[in-house]
Amino acid sequence: MISISTLWRVAGGLAAVLLLTPFNTKAQDLLNQLESETTDSLRREYVSATFKGTRVINGHSIETPGKGSLVFLISHRFGTLNSGAYEFFGLDQATIRLGLEYGLTDNLAVGVGRSSLEKTYDGFVKYKAIRQSSGPRPMPISVTLLATSAVSTLKFEPQPERSTTSRFTYTYQALLARKFSPNLSVQLMPTLVHRNYVALRRDQNDVYAIGAAARQKLTKRLALTAEYYYLLPGNTADDYRNSLALGFDIETGGHVFQLHFTNSQGMIEKFFVPQTTGNFFDGDIYFGFNISRAFQLKDSK
């Protein structure tokens, strides 16, 4: 049985607490209270900078230029490392692609490019369909859709059966990525390359591949990247090699330098997915780089 006086003491203490608490409130408590009331966990946060540039190495990343941003991209591949000292280990040769990409919105971008390889022009549309986010109804991955077309403008050999449409190649990719931590991002790329024209009857017009890529940051401005495209079984897979590339991303202010080693000479999907010939482990390695420079043409906000 609790005596009245005990109850009295408890109640008195309780009342004192109730009365005095407001006066004892320290700023830290006000901050804690504020944090609980602003409930930032209720705000949807999109994950940004899954990859540093719009390319992982050869292939596209899920990133697009921000709204109103024009990116000038210079991509370069030297010759193979195993070409020997006479060729200065490949540095005497070079293939190049110049490209421009523009963010129409934060999620939609278009781009054009021109490769010296087979004098090829390419254009693409890229759309960030789903963005990884935290908060209410979190989204575990980002999905970007990519459609490209490429046209070779090499002068025809005397091949009367070839029409203009035969020069076109189309690529469709779904880029699925997840940024697991600020340092590690992984991407999967189911890919279809459709070639209007193939030289031999046994060649496939439609080539399917699955790509995988990863970025591991080493420091705030330096990251390791890797990219691999696996050709699904078929004649193309028998005749050609899977594209493999390893590289570094080095970030400065408005530039991203990407240095890499790859067994693919081409820098657009129609080359590196179905037409890679180099054996990486025999030294058929093309050293190369991508440099991108962003220019803000319109304020994004």
Partner 1 sequence: MKHQVILIVLLLSGLTAMPALAQSKFLTRTGTISFFSATPIEDIEARNEQVGAAVDVQSGQIAFTVPMKGFQFPRSLMQEHFNENYVESEKYPKATFSGALVNWTAAALPATGPQTVQVEGDLTIHGVTKRVRVPGTLEKQGNRLLVKSKFAVAPADYNIEIPALVRNQIAKSVDVTVNLACNPAP
Residues that bind partner 1 (CB under 8 A): 4-5, 7-8, 11-12, 14-15, 18-19, 22-23, 25-28, 30-31, 33-35, 37-38, 40, 43, 45, 48-49, 65-69, 103, 106, 182, 220-221, 251-254, 294, 296, 299-301
Question: CB-wise, 25 or 205, nearer to partner 1?
Answer: 25
Question: CB-wise, 161 or 299, nearer to partner 1?
Answer: 299
Alpha-carbon torsion angle 186, 237, 209, 167, nearest 10: 130
Question: CB-wise, 93 or 133, nearer to partner 1?
Answer: 133
Residue 26 burial (10 A CB sphere; 0-12, 13-18, 19+)? exposed
Report in angstroms how near the CB of residue 248 gets to partner 1 at its nearest.
16
Report in angstroms how near the CB of residue 88 gets to partner 1 at its nearest.
29
Report in angstroms how near the CB of residue 203 gets to partner 1 at its nearest.
42
Question: CB-wise, 33 or 205, nearer to partner 1?
Answer: 33
Report in angstroms how near the CB of residue 34 gets to partner 1 at its nearest.
4
Question: How many whole angstroms separate alpha carbon 295 and alpha carbon 231?
Answer: 36
Helix ranges (DSSP H) in 52-145: none
Report in angstroms how near the CB of residue 172 gets to partner 1 at its nearest.
26
DSSP classification of residue 270:
H
Which residues fall within 8 angstroms of residue 142, CB to CB, at 6 or more apart? Answer: 47, 50, 62, 128, 130, 131, 132, 175, 176, 177, 178, 179
Report in angstroms how near the CB of residue 124 gets to partner 1 at its nearest.
19
Question: CB-wise, 162 or 221, nearer to partner 1?
Answer: 221
Residues in the chain, total: 301
Question: CB-wise, 11 or 154, nearer to partner 1?
Answer: 11
**DSSP letters spanning 193-259:** EEES--SSTTS-SEEEEEEEEEEEESSSSEEEEEEEEEEPSSHHHHHS--EEEEEEEEE-SSEEEEE
**DSSP letters spanning 110-131:** EEEEEETGGGEEEEEEEEEEE-
Q: Residue 275: helix, strand or coil by DSSP?
A: coil
Contact by Cβ (8 Å): 134, 47: yes
Question: CB-wise, 12 or 84, nearer to partner 1?
Answer: 12
